[in-house]
């Protein structure tokens, strides 16, 4: 056991854990944030996807000891109230069925769109291929990513025109 | 609930066989007329039950109960919507609560695509009864006739004066009235919510990571339990070395346990820890020598399929219903076709692995778990613990997928038994590897079909034989030595398959295996339809007809089937695609769970293989309660049906499952998922199932498309799209 200080959703969290404990279980059981899910434990399904310094990672296969000072964002930290454009698009397109994989899907899509406001279909495929959905919501995920992309682009344009005013 | 035929969908655990698996969709007994429904809620003196499904508190907040556990299929929206429609309140403004197995709610199971079709009438009556009682209460206050009242979204209005009361203002008075037995129901033209594009209330919870699944349950003082099951499934522990496992920090104990749910009764070992990770880690360090119960041969998929194939030419057990004289006609006709179709064992592979949190208390238990049948689990645990049903308290959670798996309660019993043993609350979680290797699985099946075409090009004989292990036999002890399995005839029997063929029968041959099997989304319909619908295309080609045209001929007296096919023809651009080179289309149609669904798969050539360009679906599910969710379910059925057709199969060698996680049991990923267009038929038929009917026609439509594009006939699944 060792002591770690994690930064999760902007808050410092002190935990006692074995160095090999995957970040997933630290987030769920020690930080008490249950939105991130366990699906496979071997980075095959993406249900555990969170952001580490903005990049999507599979927390089930990331030992807590390597996180160090990196900033971790989970679905709970994406927005306080479902207002992130990706969450809004997911609601608009009525994506989730069972919903279990969707925290991971949303985190993958949000990381993609944060780094690339205008991804090609191939870039979307690469970003999303690590997230399995057994209910088969892929067609709606595709639709929701396009919606989120549009609303983020519109917000960026508005932001620019506002900030360009004297 | 009198005089109903017990079939697979209605079988209840009360049969006393000690099977924690359930019955899919029992009828709702006396929903409206049950006694004792009008009592004031003891937990909240200000809230009143106006019929058991509707609770209105003094602030006017309306709660409607969802009685059918949600595994993603959308009952969280559809069930309350049915009540809300007749109650006359906007479903987006109500609170939804999950029922917890209370008797007053009647059947509380999700399975067999039964939730809406069994609830539609009783729940409309429940909503309409509450509506009438509220109007009666208002009429009494206004001293007016009931006919001078109407309602609008949570308010009773006096027509002559325009005075209003909110439902909240009337709840106390209304709850004292007798529940009307035959309240007046709305005409369909009056529906404000049923059939409209409404949004699911559970979706914002799921996009925020706030929906509570079984895996998310936390009870103060609970112990984390991770069981290790034998790779041979049916086994006893010979020796256990837990030295290394006990060195893991956080380990509380390592104990001998069991998995006890017929047909499986196996010894297991369970790691108990103060955190989930330690339990998982230690479970991998156990060194266990197992004694297998069965020989490898009876747990081999290859040996099983060989045995199935040996049954093809033998006389099987005939189903009672038949038409004409197949044998004579088939023999006398020269244009004959016969074919053998093989579909693999499949894992449900829901993303949320099996888990349950149990707290044994005295003679009873309190349970939090993802389960498909709340009342079923209550009954099962009462039987398992040999206690009164009132000692069983159940809190069903959202399910992270189920597809039939979470209606087999081995994991629930396991958690309960461990909690009883250690006298503490226990959260049991199966690892993905345990979930995938242990089954039960969709049974691998062989479908053998024979048919002939007369001189006029009409199909004049047809014999469909189902060969394989039986759910009814393996799980429910049915004796099938001299009797066909009447649960196995889904989709292809006369009841579901209306093809007009003058000489036709069906038969069944039981082939046993010790690989555990279970219902899997659409059950035998998924495997039967592959045989039937592939074969109809083979007959069409032998008759020199287009497969769609042959179906029109054989279904000419079936307006619903014909309408579905016409819609599919139009929406898929069928005729133009049939004439193209480098691109083609295949179709299939099947009725299951009270609905008719047809799929068209559009393919292009891709090197040595083919690429799925698009799938077009048409579903006739009668009146759709929540059309957006009907489309969602059908999209999901396309993805799951394609996955079963083109991705991994479950295989057993030397008594063990070869697949253990998503790396070697692959399911469809985002880039492979084609464009899907779903169309819902417009009619006034009563609601049919939605969660499963889209799936059965998917695989045969794909195989038929492959044939139309490449002239190759695929009869064994899964197939490799890259190498046809």
- pLDDT, one tens digit per residue, over B347-399 is 999 999 999 999 999 999 999 999 999 999 999 999 999 999 999 999 999 99
Nearest partner of B279 among B353, B228, B236, B215, judged by Cα = B228
CA-nearest of B75, B165, B64 to B116 is B75
Tokens of B710: 């490449």
CB B212 within 8 A of CB B397: yes
A37 with B215: Cβ contact below 8 A: yes
| ipTM confidence score | 0.97
pLDDT band at B14, cuts 50/70/90?
Answer: very low
Average model confidence (pLDDT) across chain B = 92
The answer to whether residue B407 neighbours chain A at the CB level (below 8 Å) is: no
The answer, for B429 touching chain A at a CB cutoff of 8 Å, is yes
What is the mean pLDDT of the segment spanning A18-29?
Answer: 97
Query: In chain A, positions 102-131, which contact chain B (CB-CB < 8 Å)?
Result: 102-103, 106, 125, 128-129, 131
| Nearest residue to B567 (alpha-carbon basis) of B536, B589, B545 | B589
**CA of B433 vs chain A CAs: smallest distance (Å):** 8
- Res B59: pLDDT: 80
A98: nearest CB among B218, B399, B673: B399
Residue of B nearest to A128 (CA): B670
- Which of B213, B278, B661 is nearest residue A42 as measured by Cβ atoms? B661
pLDDT for the residue numbered B557 = 97
Q: Which two tokens stand for residue A166?
A: 């004297």
Counts for chain B of helices (H) and strands (E), in that order? 18, 27
Nearest to A138 among B72, B398, B639 (CB): B639
Please list every residue in chain A whose beta carbon sits closer than 8 Å to the beta carbon of residue B637: 136
CA B360 to chain centre: 29
Backbone φ and ψ for A91, nearest 5 degrees, come out as -70, -45
Q: Among all residues of chain A, which has the CA nearest to that of B276?
A: A25
Which of B431, B636, B670 has the CB atom closest to A135's CB atom? B636
Pairwise pLDDT comparison (B151 vs B20), residue with the higher score: B151
Question: CA-CA distances (angstroms) from residue B259 to B30, B267, B418?
Answer: 36, 6, 11
How does pLDDT run across A137-146, given as a tens digit for each residue? 999 999 999 9
Q: At what angle do helices A121-128 and A138-164 cross, to 10 degrees?
A: 120
Phi, psi of A6 (to 5 degrees): -100, 155
Alpha-helical segments (H) within A15-137: 23-25, 75-78, 85-92, 102-115, 121-128
Residues 12-41 of A with CB under 8 A from B: 17-18, 20-22, 25, 28-30, 33-41
CA A38 – CA A51 distance, rounded (Å): 16
The number of beta carbons lying within 10 Å of the beta carbon of residue B225 is: 31
**pLDDT at position B5 over 50:** no
Stated pTM of the model: 0.94
Nearest 5°: the CA angle A78, A79, A84 is 85
A116, two tokens: 């690339």
State phi, psi for B675 to the nearest 5 degrees.
-65, 135
Q: Which among B675, B672, B684, B563 is positioned nearest to B623, based on CA atoms? A: B684
What is residue B346's DSSP assignment? B
Interface contact A1-B278, CB threshold 8 A: no
B69 close contact with A: CB closer than 8 A: no
* Residue of A24, A26, A33, A38 to mutate for B, most B C-beta atoms under 10 A: A38
**Is it the case that residue A95 has pLDDT exceeding 80?**
yes
Q: Identify the CA nearest to B617 among candidates B559, B556, B545, B675.
A: B675
Q: What is the largest CA-CA distance in chain A?
A: 56
Instruction: Pick A125's closest partner by Cβ from B74, B431, B670.
Output: B670
Residues 47-106 of A with CB under 8 A from B: 47, 74-76, 81-82, 87, 90-91, 94-103, 106
Min Cα–Cα distance to chain B from A112, Å:
15
Query: Is the pLDDT confidence value at B676 over 90?
Result: yes
What sign results for the dihedral spanned by CA atoms B337, B338, B344, B345?
Answer: positive
| Number of CB atoms found within 10 A of residue B580's CB | 13
Interchain CB contact of B216 with A (< 8 Å): yes
Contact B384/B363 with Cβ under 8 angstroms?
no
Q: Per the structure block, which two tokens stand in for B341?
A: 């179709």
Helix axes B115-142 and B167-175, enclosed angle (nearest 10): 90
* Cβ–Cβ below 8 Å for A44 and B662: yes
pLDDT in tens, B500-541: 999 999 999 999 999 999 999 999 999 999 999 999 999 999
Average pLDDT over residues B131-158: 97
- Which residues on chain A are in Cβ contact (under 8 Å) with B352? 37, 39, 98, 100
Closest CA to A45 of A128, A119, A148: A128
Report CB contact under 8 Å: A42, B431. Answer: no
Of B210, B429, B661, Cβ closest to residue A35: B210
Check: CB of residue B403 under 8 Å from CB of residue B351: no
Handedness of CA B529, B534, B540, B546 (dihedral sign): positive
Q: State how far the Cα of A64 lies from the Cα of A58, in Å rounded to an integer.
A: 12
Helix (H) or strand (E) holding A139: helix A138-164
Phi and psi for B714 in degrees, rounded to 5?
-95, 125
CA distance B500 to chain A (A): 35
Give how far Cα B1 sits from Cα of B30, B375, B630, Å: 7, 16, 29
| Residue pair B122/B112 in contact by the 8 Å Cβ criterion | no
Residue B41 has pLDDT above 90, yes or no: no
Contact predicate B68/B75, CB 8 Å: yes
């Amino acid at each position: 056991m060792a002591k770690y200080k994690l930064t999760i959703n902007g808050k410092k969290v002190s935990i006692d854990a074995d160095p090999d404990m995957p970040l997933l279980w630290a987030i769920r059981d020690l930080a008490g944030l249950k939105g991130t899910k366990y699906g496979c434990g071997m980075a095959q399904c993406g249900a555990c996807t969170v952001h580490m310094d903005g990049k999507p990672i599979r927390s089930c296969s990331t030992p807590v000891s390597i996180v160090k000072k990196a900033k971790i964002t989970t679905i709970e930290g994406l927005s306080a109230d479902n207002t992130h454009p990706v969450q809004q698009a997911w609601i608009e397109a009525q994506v989730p069925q069972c919903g279990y994989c969707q925290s991971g899907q949303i985190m993958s899509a949000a990381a993609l769109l944060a780094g690339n406001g205008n991804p090609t279909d191939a870039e979307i495929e690469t970003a999303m291929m690590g997230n399995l959905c057994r209910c088969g919501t892929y067609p709606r995920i595709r639709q929701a990513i396009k919606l989120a992309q549009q609303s983020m682009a519109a917000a960026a344009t508005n932001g620019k025109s506002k900030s360009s005013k004297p | 609930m009198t005089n109903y035929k017990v079939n697979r969908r209605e079988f209840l655990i009360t049969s006393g066989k000690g099977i924690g698996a359930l019955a899919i969709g029992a009828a709702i007994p006396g929903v409206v007329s049950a006694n004792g429904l009008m009592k004031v809620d003891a937990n909240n003196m200000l809230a009143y039950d106006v019929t058991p499904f509707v609770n209105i508190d003094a602030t006017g907040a309306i709660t409607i109960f969802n009685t059918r556990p949600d595994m993603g299929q959308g009952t969280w929206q559809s069930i309350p919507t049915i009540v809300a429609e007749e109650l006359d309140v906007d479903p987006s403004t109500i609170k939804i609560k999950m029922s917890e197995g209370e008797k007053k709610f009647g059947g509380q199971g999700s399975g067999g695509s039964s939730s809406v079709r069994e609830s539609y009438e009783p729940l409309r009556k429940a909503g309409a009864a509450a509506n009438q009682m509220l109007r009666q209460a208002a009429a009494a206050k206004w001293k007016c006739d009931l006919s001078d009242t109407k309602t609008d979204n949570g308010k009773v209005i006096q027509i002559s004066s325009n005075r209003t009361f909110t439902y909240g203002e009337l709840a106390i008075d209304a709850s004292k009235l007798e529940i009307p037995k035959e309240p007046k129901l709305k005409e369909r033209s009056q529906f404000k919510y049923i059939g409209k594009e409404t949004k699911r209330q559970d979706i914002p919870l799921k996009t925020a990571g706030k929906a509570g699944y079984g895996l998310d349950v936390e009870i103060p003082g609970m112990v984390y339990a991770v069981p290790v099951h034998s790779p041979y499934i049916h086994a006893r522990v010979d020796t256990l070395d837990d030295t290394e496992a006990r060195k893991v920090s956080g380990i509380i104990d390592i104990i001998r346990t069991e998995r006890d749910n017929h047909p499986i009764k196996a010894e297991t070992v369970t790691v108990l820890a103060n955190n989930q990770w330690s339990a998982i880690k230690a479970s991998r360090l156990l060194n266990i020598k197992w004694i297998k119960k069965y020989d490898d041969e009876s747990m081999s998929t290859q040996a099983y399929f060989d045995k199935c194939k040996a049954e093809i030419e033998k006389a099987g057990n005939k189903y009672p219903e038949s038409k004409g004289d197949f044998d004579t006609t088939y023999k006398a006709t020269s244009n004959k076709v016969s074919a053998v179709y093989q579909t693999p064992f499949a894992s449900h592979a829901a993303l949320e692995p099996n888990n349950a949190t149990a707290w044994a208390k005295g003679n009873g238990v309190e349970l939090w778990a993802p389960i498909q049948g709340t009342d079923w689990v209550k009954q099962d645990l009462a039987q398992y613990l040999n206690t009164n049903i009132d000692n069983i308290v159940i809190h069903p959670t959202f399910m992270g997928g189920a597809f039939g798996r979470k209606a087999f309660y081995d994991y629930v019993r396991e958690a309960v038994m461990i909690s009883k043993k250690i006298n503490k609350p226990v959260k049991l979680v199966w690892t993905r590897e345990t979930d995938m290797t242990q089954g039960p699985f969709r049974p691998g099946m062989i479908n053998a079909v024979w048919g002939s075409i007369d001189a006029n090009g009409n199909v004049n004989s047809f014999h469909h034989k189902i060969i394989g292990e039986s759910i009814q036999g393996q799980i429910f002890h049915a004796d099938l030595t001299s009797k066909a399995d009447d649960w196995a005839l889904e989709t292809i029997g006369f009841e579901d398959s209306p093809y007009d063929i003058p000489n036709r029968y069906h038969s069944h041959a039981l082939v046993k295996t010790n690989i555990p099997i279970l219902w899997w989304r659409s059950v035998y319909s998924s495997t039967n339809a592959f045989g039937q619908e592939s074969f109809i295309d083979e007959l069409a080609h032998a008759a020199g007809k287009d497969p769609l045209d042959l179906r029109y001929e054989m279904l000419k007296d079936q307006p619903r089937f014909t309408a579905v096919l016409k819609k599919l023809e139009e929406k898929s651009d069928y005729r133009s695609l049939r004439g193209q080179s480098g691109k083609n289309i295949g179709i299939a149609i099947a009725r299951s769970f009270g609905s008719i669904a047809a799929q068209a798969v559009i393919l292009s050539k891709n090197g040595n293989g083919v690429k799925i360009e698009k799938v077009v679906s048409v579903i006739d599910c009668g009146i759709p309660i929540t059309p957006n969710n009907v489309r969602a379910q059908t999209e999901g059925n396309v993805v799951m049906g394609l996955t079963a057709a083109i991705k991994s199969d479950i295989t057993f060698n030397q008594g063990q499952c070869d697949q253990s996680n998503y790396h070697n049991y692959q399911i469809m990923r985002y880039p492979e998922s084609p464009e899907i267009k779903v169309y819902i038929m417009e009619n006034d038929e009563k609601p049919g199932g939605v969660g499963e009917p889209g799936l059965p026609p998917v695989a045969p439509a794909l195989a038929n498309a492959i044939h139309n594009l490449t002239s190759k006939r695929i009869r064994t699944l899964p197939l490799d799209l890259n190498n046809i």
